[in-house]
Structure 1
Amino acid sequence: MENTLIYDLDLHFEHKQWERELEFWKDELKTFKNRLSELIGRYEDQKVLAKLEHYQNEFILHEGVINDLKETIEEHESNMAEHSKVGEEALDVSLVEKHVKFRKKMEAQRQIYAELKKDFFEFLTEYWT
């Protein structure tokens, strides 16, 4: 990677993709929370209520992760803007390495979120009657 020239425009494009994805996740989480609210009033069984609380906590945690990811993207965008102000359209190796690490973090988070959704839908199938 040390001989490769990476332009901030290329990374900016990926940032925008990630931001849209994160916004979609936030919207989905709102819908999932609404489902939880509907179910809370239907059940008194402690086992079911414990599962509802588990998902509520997971959704809250995931919202925090989304916010952290968005903040990291904003910081990187700000850093790229500073480079651009001084006429540097290509980023140094350390910034590109951070971007690549963040890409891996996004990929991991996609898997975590997909598993959470899968589990939640299985739960809904079991108790949403």
Structure 2
Amino acid sequence: MKTKTEVLYNENLHFEHKQWQSELDFWKDELKSFKNRLGDLIKRWTNKEVLAQLEHYQNEFILHEGIIDKLQETIEKHETRIAGQVNSGQESLDTALTKKHLEFRNQMETQRQIYADLKKDFFRFLSKTM
């Protein structure tokens, strides 16, 4: 029985990194607008329960900004490794780097879901408080 081996080429990984970076940049911009919206709501509400929810979302947004920064840093490190391989004439990644890339892909998928859930919760909250 033959086993099929998939080769990951540096240019494909670079393309995926660019996609992820664009997505992370978009999330950062979105979080800025969400934080601005929180600022508007803090001025309008005095109810302690609503203010507690606003603080919760503010903390969540700060947490997600930190996660985004870490993900972007990981992408930069991986890009540096890819560039080193390209400069040495290698077109495909070694096993260890491939494994790291696939693990990072899973991290991105997980973070994508967590972020989507946060947005849904925040929009539900906004519809109740508006």
TM over 0.5: yes
Which residue among 95, 99, 108 is the counterpart of 1:93?
95
User: How far apart, in 1, do the equivalents of 2:6 and 2:116 lie?
Assistant: 33
* Counterpart residue number, 1:30: 32
Shift of 1:88: 1.1
User: Is residue 2:66 matched to residue 1:68?
Assistant: no
Identity %: 59
Query: What CA deviation, in whole Å up to 9, does each residue of 1:43-71 have, x standing for no partner?
Result: 11111110000000000000000000000
User: How far apart, in 2, do the equivalents of 1:57 and 1:2 lie?
Assistant: 46
SS in 1 for 2:127: helix
Which residue among 47, 52, 55 is the counterpart of 1:53?
55
User: How far apart, in 2, do the equivalents of 1:90 and 1:45 lie?
Assistant: 58
Shift of 1:2: 8.4
Q: Which runs of 5+ in 1 are unaligned?
A: none
Which residue among 7, 11, 14 is the counterpart of 1:12?
14
Shift of 1:24: 0.5
Query: What CA deviation, in whole Å up to 9, does each residue of 1:20-53 have, x standing for no partner?
Result: 0000100100110010000001111111110000
TM-score where L is the length of structure 1: 0.96
User: How far apart, in 1, do the equivalents of 2:44 and 2:7 lie?
Assistant: 58
Which residue among 104, 112, 115 is the counterpart of 1:113?
115
TM-score where L is the length of structure 2: 0.95
User: How far apart, in 1, do the equivalents of 2:36 and 2:109 lie?
Assistant: 27
Q: Which amino acid aligns with 2:6?
A: T
SS in 1 for 2:45: coil
User: How far apart, in 2, do the equivalents of 1:39 and 1:5 lie?
Assistant: 51
Q: Which runs of 5+ in 2 are unaligned?
A: none
SS in 2 for 1:41: helix
